[in-house]
Amino acid sequence: METESAAAAAMEHLPLKMRVMAAIDESDESFYALKWALDNLFSFISSTALPETGEKSDGLLTVVHVQEPNHHFGFPAAPGIQAYYPPSEVVDSVKRAQEQKSAAILKKASEMCKEKRITAKTLILDGDPKDMICQATEQIHVDLLIVGSRGLGKVKRAFLGSVSDYCAQHARCPILIVKPPKEDSKSG
């Protein structure tokens, strides 16, 4: 009974138009987080109606993917010889491949949203995913950020860093970190 009244009290404070951002990459964990949000959060948001007017509340979903910037490296040709820089055609080819990969990721996410009849905006950003996701939440005035968790242990998180950990500490909005089911995290 107490949980029902707590849930009802929490619903009173939900914004009429809740802005949600789901950050995704190519990982299964990020797509699981998006699926979880579509199945659980958005079905709840779209089913709630305001008691006074009967008007449905609505959520706005933005799916964001951050692609790391292309670094133009020089490679040493041999001892004593100047560095070799890849031709601009190679750099352009790498950039096009990265853009195609980002478009494919967002297309898959958009299809998931369409299956659930949820309209979503997509956004591709360039830069460090940790910083860009947090900046985007501020610029779009997000009410909730959703990210997946790869289930890294403490040591791996310390060395590799974790986007979800960083966002939990630096995002200026509530963040929902969706962990994959145990059977999925053991097999991957």
CATH of 17-70+81-187, one of 3.30.70.3270, 3.30.70.20, 3.30.70.260, 3.40.50.620: 3.40.50.620
pLDDT at residue 49, as a whole number: 42
Would you list the domain boundaries of the chain? 17-70+81-187
Residue with tokens 């009173």: 12
pLDDT, tens only, 100-123: 999 999 999 999 999 988 989 999
Q: Find the farthest-apart pair of alpha carbons in the chain and give their distance in angstroms, rounded.
A: 79
pLDDT for the residue numbered 7 = 43
Whole-number pLDDT of residue 75: 60
Q: Residues 2, 4, 7, 13: is their CA dihedral positive or negative?
A: negative
Question: How much of the chain exceeds pLDDT 70, in percent?
Answer: 65
Question: Which residue numbers in the chain have pLDDT < 50?
Answer: 1, 3-4, 6-8, 10-11, 47-57, 160, 184-188
pTM for the whole structure = 0.73
pLDDT at 81: 67
% of the chain residues with pLDDT over 90: 45
Q: What is the pLDDT of residue 158?
A: 55
Tell me how far apart the alpha carbons of residues 57 and 50 are, in angstroms, rounded to a whole number.
7
Closest among 67, 64, 69 to 137, alpha carbons compared: 64
pLDDT per residue as tens digits for the range 118-138:
989 999 999 999 999 999 999
